[in-house]
Amino acid sequence: MELAPTRHRNAERQRRVILAAVFLVGLAAGAAGCYVLQRPALEYLKAELNWARAEIVSATDRLLYSWKNDGVTPAPRPLELGPLPDKLPSELQDVVDQWESPESRAAVDQRIRAMLSRGWDPVKIILELDKPRI
């Protein structure tokens, strides 16, 4: 009498496995189909982006050339900036803002960020910066 319930449980388990396999195959087929259908559009957009970047460089070069012909000293080509650094905590930003020259601010900011990267606490950093240097 125990054979019937066991067969029923096995049949139910097999059905669940088959449904999960069919679902996964359908999901994979759908993702592959979306990729195949969208690939031409993505390639077109990448080509347009590359063209636009080349046009920006060309326009900047033309502008710089025209400025040089007029005798104007042009500004240098803008640099491509990396990602912006994370903001400092407000108490550490106040320490940086105490300095007047941009070079001093940059040096203090770099020193503070080095201490933060070593895992120092902001209070410890402020105490370290307040120590008189000999």
What is the per-residue pLDDT across 16-48, written as a single tens digit (0 to 9) for each? 999 999 999 999 999 999 999 999 999 999 999
Rounded to two decimals, what is the model's pTM? Answer: 0.38
pLDDT of residue 1: 45
pLDDT of residue 70: 78
Buried b (16+ CB within 10 A) or exposed e, 29-66: eeeeeeeeeeeeeeeeeeeeeeeeeeeeeeeeeeeeee
8-state DSSP, 71 = T
Pairwise pLDDT comparison (50 vs 80), residue with the higher score: 50
Residues 6+ apart with CB under 8 A from 126: 91, 92, 95
Tell me: the pLDDT tens digits for 76-125? 666 766 666 788 888 888 988 888 888 888 899 999 999 988 988 889 98
pLDDT of residue 11: 85
The token duo for 20 is 């999960």
CA distance 86 to 90: 12
Tell me: the pLDDT tens digits for 51-75? 999 999 898 888 888 877 777 776 6
pLDDT of residue 132: 78
